[in-house]
Structure formats: C-alpha cells, structure tokens
Chain A
Amino acid sequence: MSAYENIQDNGLLRFMTCGSVDDGKSTLIGRLLYDTKAILTDTLTQIEKTSKKRGMEAVDLSLLTDGLQAEREQGITIDVAYRYFSTGTRKYIIADAPGHEQYTRNMVTAASTANLAIILIDARKGVLVQTRRHSYLAHLMNIPHIVVAVNKMDLIDYDQAKFDAIVAEYKAFVEKMGLFGEDRDIKFIPMSALTGDNVVDSSETMPWYQGPTLLDVLESASSTDADERAEAFRFPVQFVCRPQDSANPELHDYRGFMGRVESGSIQAGDAVTVLPSGRESRVKAVHIGGEPVAEGVSEQSITLLLEDEVDISRGDMIVKSSEVPEARKETEAMMCWFAEAPLSPARTYLIRHTTRTTKAKLTGVAFKVDVNSQEHVDATTLAMNDIAKVSWKLAQPLFGDAYRENRATGAFIVIDESTNNTVGAGMLL
C-alpha cells in the first residue's frame, strides 16, 4: 500500500511481446498482469465464465488479451493492443502485437514505441522461422533491449542442456545475420508462463538458472528512451504561442516555441540554430506550463523563448548551433509498406518527419528483405508488409539523423494524400 507513497518512482517502460498464441504469448501477458495484481476480480470472473463456456477446465489467462468482437468472429488478432500494469515502482505499457507473418505492419507499429522486446521461443521447438522474423524486425526497429524468453520449460522437464542449446543456436543466428550490433543488451531466460517459473518469481524447479526473472529485467532496464538517445539537442517546433493579450502588456511581445525535446537537453544561454532558415539566436528561457525551469531534457514537452525575434513556425527545428544536422534533399531509407495499393514510383506522396511535412517521390528500390530468411531480393515496388531499402527525392529538405543514432529524428511516415491514410513507415539511413 505504501508503495504509492514512499518508494521512488522509477519511471515508465514500454515493451512489446513477439510471438504467437502457440508460443504462450497471451499466457505470458496474462501471467504478468495476474502476478502483478493488475487483473481485478470482475475481469477474472468474466474470463472464468468464458473459459467454462468454451469447455476449458482451468482459467485460460490468454483470454485476458482477447480483443474485439470483430476479432473473435474471425478467430484472429488483427491489431496491436496496449495493456498496463504497475509494480508500484515502475509503470509498464505492453504493446501486444499479433505475430503472424501477414501482420508485419502490426509488429513494426508496436516496436516503434517499445524500448524492450520479449521474443518468445517454444522450448520444444527452438529457433523457428518466426523467431528469425521477430528478431529481424526488432533489430530493424532498433529496440535497445532484447529478452529471449525460452518458454514452456515445464514441457521439456526444465532441462538445462536443451535451454543451453537454444541459447547457442540463437546467438549463432544473430551473429551470422549481423543483428543487433555488438553492444546490444540481449538476455536469455528459461521460463514457464503457464506455471509462472521465472516470470515474476524465481523458479524452484530450475536451480541451475541463477539469472534474473523476467520482471527483474523489466524493473532494471533503462526506462523510456532517454538513456538510449543521442545527446544532440533536437527540438521540432509543434506550435507557436503568441498570446497578444491586450489586458496584459507584458505578453505583448511573447513568442513561445512549443514542442517536445526529442533528444539532448537545453538551458538558458545556449546558442541555437533554427532550421531550415539557419538563423541563430540564444535561449532566453525554458518554460513548462508557463513557469521557468532550469533545463529542458529529453522527452519533456517545453516552451522555448529566444533572445532575438526570429521567424519560426511549425515544422521548423531548433538545434544547438554546435550540432546542426545535415539537410537532406534526397535520402536513403529502410521502408515498411502498409497499404493494399503498392508503393508507386509514378506517384507523389507526403512524408511526415518530426513536425515537418514534405512532398516526396520514390526514386529507387535497392532491394527487398525476405523477413523470414533476411535475404535480399530484387524489387521495383513494394507491396503490403514488404520491407525494403529505397531512396526518396524530397520537395523540401528534411533535417534528420540516421535512425540508428536517433529514433525520433530518424523516423518518418508516408501519407497518401488522396485517402490521408498512413501507408508506410521509414527509417533514415
């Protein structure tokens, strides 16, 4: 109870689970929610009823993640669902994405905001094609922390040798494919979501494993993106505040540039450059909610006041003058395509990058990636769920960083102007 009063707040962690129902993914999420007491009595009663109705003997924890009526009718999961739990010290947001091949777009969506990915492996089956697919996508989306959960240990008699073999097989695959880079944080945990071994509580049946439980890893992983981000200050302007309140002459000249610090930090006195104009100035003050603060840091929504009167509007980016990113009039990128209609080199699309929108045309497809084998395939266009390396020509310059360096300023979406739909996601190279 006093958890909510006395224990230090350890922030918020967003993570995703990769796997299919067969791997026990829903059971794992159900287990996490249940063991952290995020499932309350009425919900439990409801799933008990449903379990009985479907002729099951025990309560099926996977029903906790059962979604929409539309999905139940089709017997499939069609979309990312977000779930929440808290340990008192840390708040968690789970992005639960269906793992089927045709839903690459859902995995990519879930991964875009995740700081940790749990990749589920069925201990009886080892590294499968889908394990490779999930790992590749987690790598592509640059998720900082990876947990390989070797699940269903109860079905292989908690056998250490089999676990060790799966770990070795996975490591070999990752090394061969060049995934994740050398410094990436990958942890392996033998567990049983069904019995709860090594999920929240340490397993008594696997004394040979002395490592952390899944919850231990979640509790200690660096929270949100802050620790992972590049130090360069990046501040896309979302909105300009000009109160012009006639009753308050002090506000007459007030111009506040509002946005979220995507990376780095900023203080009064810092020399800044405004893009694309290149105009320079100094920060007069940093405000949050109209009140001055000493510093604005990564992920905070702030308001910047500058010393000079500079013409700045939404879509501009304020950076420190010592670390100005390059202007890109054309760019290479990794793309994931979402729309039924293929990406057409003949058409003009809109690209939204930070708060900036520009028209863009595809100028080439270098290769497509087979997500199952990670092999490169020749292609001239992209169909739904395709992943490819492409190049774009842009009507207006973008000021971005490579996605590997900075997820916030390296990411963009593609919008089809005729439908206004989001049809693709891209990562600057």
Chain B
Amino acid sequence: MTTLSKQTLSHLDWLEAEAIHIMREVAGQCERPVLLFSGGKDSICMLRVAEKAFRPGKFPFPLLHIDTGHNYQEVVDFRDRRAAELGERLIVRSVEDSMKRGTVVLKSPDESRNKHQSVTLLEAIAEFEFDCCIGGARRDEEKARAKERVMSFRDEFGQWDPKNQRPELWNLYNARVHRGENIRAFPISNWTEMDVWQYVQREQLELPSIYYSHVRPIVRRAGAIVPVTHLTPVKPGEEVIDLQVRFRTVGDIPCTAPVESDADTIEKIVLETATTTITERGATRLDDQTSDASMEQRKKEGYF
C-alpha cells in the first residue's frame, strides 16, 4: 500500500486531477457558474473533465456558447449534439443579437466578429448573473495567457488588470467576488496543445470532423492558407487549390486557418504535433499577428 501511494501519476492523470480539482472549487465556491463550450477541442476536453468531476450527478453549471454566427457548421452541429448527449443545458447567445441591439457596431460588414464576442459574453453574464465563467484557455497559447491566474478576477466591466492580479498560491484558489464582478476559471491552464491531443486520444473523444484531414478549396494569401468560404471569398488573381488540410484550432471562420496535413486519425495528429515547427496560434490565427499585444488588449476588454 505504501508503495502504491508513492506511484507517479502520468502527466495526463496529473493534469486531469488538477482540472477536476479546479472545477470542483468553482462548484464549491461560486453560486452561478457557467462553462464556456464552443465545440472546439479544448472545451471538448473540459466536458470530459467535468464528467469525471461530477458524475453520476449533473454538472453544477449550464454550458454557454457565444456564437459569432461565423462558425463552421460542423462545429455548431457537434456543439448541439454533444450537449444533448450529455443531457446538460446549453445556452447560446449570439453576436448578431448584440448587433441588432446596437451594442456591437462593426466598422465594416466584413470586420472580424471575434473580438466582439466580449460584448455578447458580458451581456450574457449580466443576463444570467453568472459569477464565474469556466473557460478552456491554456497558458501555452500566448504570452498574455502565460501570466494569467487559474482563477482570474474581472471587475464589473469585465476587465482584466494584469498588473493587479490576486496572488495565487498552492492550490488555494480565491473565487470570492462582489455582486457584478466575476471570475474566469481556467481548469486546463497548465495543458499544452500536445496534452490536449493526447487527452483526446486517451479518452477517445469525438471531435468535429474538420479537425481531421480533409480536402478543402483554399487560396494562399500572404503566406497563410485561407479556406474559400462565403465569408472569405476568392480575391481577383488568386488561384483556388484543393488541398489536404486539417484545423488545429477552430474558431471564427475569417480568423482561423487550416494547416496542410494528411493526418486523418488522432494518432497521426499526435505524431504531427510532436514534430511540427509552428505554434498553434502562429499557424492558424489570422488575427493575432497584427500586434505583439493583441491578446493582452482583448483580455483587458473582457475577452475570455
């Protein structure tokens, strides 16, 4: 028995146990938490963690998706199906409704709606009086994230103040807030892209089909692979190619690019991730390259 208690947990077991602990702290400390579920791979992992944390009970929080209206249909369908399979409540709030209300105003019709999700999220937080949003952000994604707490305090405007974060020690998380303020909790903060793929593999998690290699019409634009869609049409002089691609990350259509790949199984994706030379964001985000600090800026404004 003594020897067993000294066994080493595998890195995935350790990360999973930590994520379960964080979710249970949210459930134990917060009155009206919500879990942000987009249908993407990180939030799919979070749902499995939530199952391990709370079954045979129901989740002590509903699921929330902030829909830009610019998501891939495969992902939206998957989102609805997965929530139904789990028997959990899914709330969807859309940026288009915020536009109708006049709270989101686009500079131009084709401006990315990605950053405007913040407005719709804050509106949903106010509508349901959520005091904690559980998100699937990872610290390895981006350098502004690398310094964010597991439980990150937001004031009543939803703002993150990187210079004035609560100290966070051991596994003693402080999710206390006053009315109107909220906490963003990140149970998979310490996971990397590789950990996520390995967890998908180990848990045999189903993913939206566009994560696996498929043939898609694309154009090459300024070094990036741009999928040809109704939101990202072909520009004059560009040549449309049918390319074998997969998505490493799925988000808003206008700001998410696929990578060239023939990895059509999770095993092949794990191997490819082990040998890739480009970061997840670098390969796939069409919006973050504009400024060194664009994520930090968005987070200060209330982004996830």
Please name all residues of chain A whose beta carbon is closer than 8 Å to the beta carbon of B222 when the two chains form the complex. Answer: none
Please name all residues of chain B whose beta carbon is closer than 8 Å to the beta carbon of A352 when the two chains form the complex. Answer: 172, 174
Please tell me which one of the listed residues B9, B174, B189 contacts residue A420 in the complex, with CB atoms under 8 A apart: B174
Please tell me which one of the listed residues A84, A88, A223 contacts residue B139 in the complex, with CB atoms under 8 A apart: A84
Q: A31-70: which residues lie under 8 A (CB-CB) from chain B? A: 40-43, 46, 66-70
- A112:B28 contact, CB within 8 angstroms: no
- B147:A67 contact, CB within 8 angstroms: yes
**B301 adjacent to chain A (CB < 8 Å):** no
Bound Cα distance from A81 to B147, whole angstroms: 5
**B94 adjacent to chain A (CB < 8 Å):** no
- B143:A226 contact, CB within 8 angstroms: no
- B279:A42 contact, CB within 8 angstroms: yes
- B24:A40 contact, CB within 8 angstroms: no
**B287 adjacent to chain A (CB < 8 Å):** no
Given A42-B283, A258-B53: A299 touches B17 (CB 8 Å cut-off): yes
- B195:A91 contact, CB within 8 angstroms: yes
- A93:B174 contact, CB within 8 angstroms: no
Binds A, one of B121-129, B204-212, B270-278: B270-278
Q: A330-349: which residues lie under 8 A (CB-CB) from chain B? A: 338
- A11:B8 contact, CB within 8 angstroms: yes
Q: Which residue of A lies closest to B138 (CB)?
A: A84
Binds B, one of A1-9, A124-132, A200-208: A1-9
Please tell me which one of the listed residues B16, B21, B146, B162 contacts residue A82 in the complex, with CB atoms under 8 A apart: B146
- B52:A289 contact, CB within 8 angstroms: yes
- B6:A227 contact, CB within 8 angstroms: yes
Q: Which residue of B lies closest to A83 (CB)?
A: B146
Bound Cα distance from A283 to B174, whole angstroms: 30
Digit string of B1-34 for contact with A (CB within 8 Å is 1, else 0)?
1101111111111111110110011011000000
- A289:B147 contact, CB within 8 angstroms: no
Q: A213-231: which residues lie under 8 A (CB-CB) from chain B? A: 223-224, 226-227, 231
Bound Cα distance from A245 to B87, whole angstroms: 12
**A358 adjacent to chain B (CB < 8 Å):** no
- A425:B167 contact, CB within 8 angstroms: yes
- A260:B21 contact, CB within 8 angstroms: yes
Given A298-B5, A415-B174: A421 touches B15 (CB 8 Å cut-off): no
- The smallest C-beta distance from A59 to any residue of chain B, in angstroms, reads 16
- B162:A109 contact, CB within 8 angstroms: no
Please name all residues of chain A whose beta carbon is closer than 8 Å to the beta carbon of B297 when the two chains form the complex. Answer: 69
